[in-house]
Each structure stands twice: as structure tokens, then as C-alpha cells.
Amino acid sequence: MQFDLSAVETGTMVVIGTLVFALLIGLFMMVSVFAAMVLVGVGRLAWYLLAGAVVGSVHGINRGWDRLVRHASTVELPGDFQVDFGSDYQGQTAPSTGTYPRVVLRDS
């Protein structure tokens, strides 16, 4: 059985063409929205992983520094290597202006 399109009215062809075009636009929009949702999800996952890695590395550095400082505070140096942190390299006391050493206030 053959279907002759010339027997269909022009108005019916316009309606069918409009519906097909609307279906194509709707499919395109659905695919676009789905792709956007996938991209947003991938971006969010990447951001979450990157933020977790940065926060983890900062915590690791802080823990390591804390362990180093605690270990350094428990180390006892022999008598020849005792350091007086209140003096400069020649064994003289640094001039002071009260709370801050003069080196800090040199530019003011």
C-alpha cells in the first residue's frame, strides 16, 4: 500500500512539520541539559577532591611542623652547644627598646 503525500493537505503537513521540529528542539534541549548536569557534577567532584587534597596537605604540614617543634623542645644540647636566644652572634646582648628588639624598629 502506497502512501501519497500529495493527498495530504498543506495545513496538515505544516502541523506535522512543526511537531517534528518541536520534538527535535526538545530532544536537543534534553541532551544539552543532561550534558550540563554531567559537567557540573564532574566539576563539583573535581573541586571536592582538589579541596580535600589541599586541606589534607595543609593538615599534614601542620602536624609535621608540630611534631618537629615538640621534638626540638625536648632535645637537650650538650654544654658546649647551649644557645642563649637573647644575645646576638658575638655573645653580646641586643639593644632593646622595651618589648621589641631594635632590629625590628630600625626602619621606623
Q: How many CA atoms lie within 13 A of 30 on its CB side?
A: 6
More confident residue, 80 or 42: 42
C-alpha cell at 103: 632590629
Average predicted confidence (pLDDT) for the chain: 81
**Distance of alpha carbon 101 from alpha carbon 40, whole angstroms:** 54
3-state secondary structure of 28: helix
More confident residue, 98 or 45: 45
